Structure 1
């Protein structure tokens, strides 16, 4: 990686964004970071993203107006990917000054807090707490919490996607001591699709996402196994290979549902196909089960397509349905209650017009994008 040169006074204000992975990695955090960086770049900021290279090869290139610095991965620890080259780059950057925006969870947050002092203004987006379900997870979560606390204490502004999640977070106290902002996660308006994935004679429940443990897919499978109506099927969308984490569901049980015609998989969807997927559904489900899930961009996107959502009653995740009234909230990890919520949503007529006004005012572009741009303006 080449040395990053100091910015000259006549250049646009530079913002250095730090996160684990960037595109082509697929996750809500990655998509959000990319959308925000591109939007800020379109509005006069010199945007630079620093990440670990997904395929292992370091590179520096411009993507949609954003300069992406991808560093060679040195090792993995849990879900974290670490790069010695990235740490070296942070050391070189330390005296330059500017705006640094960190998307947490980010293990190296403490490094930025320690090095980026004079001339730097720090902003953090706190996405979620790391889960603490096993001994290994608890140790990793404790280390992450220490790193994040050190960064939040040094940051000018900390952003959370909802007050509900921020108030329940393990780091709520340190966030409360900081200048805390609530800005929903960026979503894409998926209205206007065609029902290209409809299955004749079926009412479709949609799930779309990376099939990792926090998504609650096994709970959804259990609910579908108990579904009393033969005309209801699950339409599963998302990648099933190339993941950094192990699959978070029982593949044999899902395959059994597919063999019975009670579930169908459309695989990974290209961007242009997603609105057509939503338009094919009767209900969308978001059955997440732990703190690694804090919002759920797909909920907003499904609603923007006119589809009600059944979501888990966990902090952050429940807020979109609570705010819009467009769907049902069910007990996390409880397949019987999830089934209840699905059945209610399938039979309920919702006021989609009033829902749309809430989405436009609070969640859909350019509302979150502009809120982040104003933060940059404030810091610049």
Structure 2
């Protein structure tokens, strides 16, 4: 009787019942893999963790000319728009807007990742429920061009915030100190970043992939990140000169060439040379190399200096392999250290404070086992809670759609 009624309703209303159809999620951001940043890696975690449950498409920019326009990867699709020209850390692309208008028609939920210059325009171009992932504030720093770009992105972001049904932030701590979010706090939901290396914590070590040798008897302090101003690398180099301990070596890993908006490597080269063998420059690492990097270091340092840094996912990645952490005492960035109780905090932009924190945490390393650190971070920051939180939000926002599919 129920089946007959379903068929009657379908024929009468011109709809086909589609209970098994996967809901379609459109993820939108300016830069995506193989570009590596906190924003792109967080969005990548969203796509990969939800690809088995939803029909996922990522719309992004073609930041390298040899990348394919359309690519299938890990169960989801990446669509890349051609930029007209690059502007500061972003770009202008008419193709991006055209592709969005097309793809949003097929989507049940649109997931906009901010900061993005087009976020306000995109939010106005769709009537679909918008799940905004607010990854960080835009710090008003740099020259005239950078400040103009930041002002435009901020203005656009306010429009997107107004149009969004829900807004994900990487921590409540960061959201509470964000001026842009104060008028929309009733829509804000905390979702900690996924710990993409959690399943590799107990895998066998493979030191052969490391780009350098571990020197016996020396403590290793590591840095991972793009060589950009907000990471505070200049502050770190000043702190390294203050540490000046032959038993401590600093490994600096990260992209210093293909960086949107430009690297600060040229400004740092003279200071790097002056530090001699105390610093080892590793460049960008593959995931396999990064895992062994985390296993090798005793302490990870993240000396970020402004609100472009909202969390610092490398902290929980390093802790997964037992490393302790030193970071700056800024909202959001301090979350991993405060929640796990392992590591130290330094005043942002203060090389003396950073030096003291590094020394203190190196002392902590003597009595703190790597296994204890691993357990602490995996209890709070894990992929299961991340994907469950996003699934709950997507199902909530799409609850009124996707049940009946119209048949023309």
Per the normalisation by structure 2, the TM-score is 0.85
- How far does residue 369 in structure 1 lie from its aligned partner after superposition? 2.1
What residue number does 1:91 align with?
Answer: 101
Q: When the two structures are aligned, how many residues end up with a matched partner?
A: 368
Say if 2:338 is the partner of 1:329.
Answer: no
- How far does residue 357 in structure 1 lie from its aligned partner after superposition? 4.2
What residue number does 1:14 align with?
Answer: 24
What residue number does 1:376 align with?
Answer: 394
2: CA distance between counterparts of 1:72 and 1:368?
31
Structure scoring higher RCO (CA < 8 A, sep ≥ 6) equals: 2
What residue number does 2:228 align with?
Answer: 212
Larger displacement relative to structure 2 (204-213 or 260-269): 260-269
* Unpaired stretches in structure 1, ≥5 consecutive residues: 1-7
SS of aligned partner of 1:374: helix
Per the normalisation by structure 1, the TM-score is 0.91
Deviations for 1:200-259, whole angstroms, at most 9, x for unmatched residues?
2321100011111111001110011111421111011112222223222511211332xx
What residue number does 2:181 align with?
Answer: 172
Whichever structure has more helix as a proportion of its residues is: 2
Taking a change above 3 Å as real, the CA distance of residues 18 and 84 of structure 1, as seen in their structure-2 partners, is: same
* Unpaired stretches in structure 2, ≥5 consecutive residues: 1-16, 399-408
What residue number does 2:113 align with?
Answer: 103
What residue number does 2:218 align with?
Answer: 202
2: CA distance between counterparts of 1:228 and 1:239?
25
2: CA distance between counterparts of 1:147 and 1:252?
39
What residue number does 1:77 align with?
Answer: 87
Taking a change above 3 Å as real, the CA distance of residues 244 and 141 of structure 1, as seen in their structure-2 partners, is: closer
2: CA distance between counterparts of 1:210 and 1:143?
24
Larger displacement relative to structure 2 (240-249 or 100-109): 240-249
Equivalent in 145, 161, 167 of residue 154 of structure 2:
145
Larger displacement relative to structure 2 (46-55 or 180-189): 180-189
What residue number does 1:34 align with?
Answer: 44
Say if 2:131 is the partner of 1:123.
Answer: yes
Equivalent in 267, 284, 301 of residue 300 of structure 2:
284
State which structure, 1 or 2, has the greater radius of gyration over its C-alpha atoms. 2
- How far does residue 96 in structure 1 lie from its aligned partner after superposition? 4.4
Deviations for 1:278-323, whole angstroms, at most 9, x for unmatched residues?
1111111000011111100100011111111000111111111111
SS of aligned partner of 1:123: strand
SS of aligned partner of 1:226: helix
What residue number does 1:54 align with?
Answer: 63
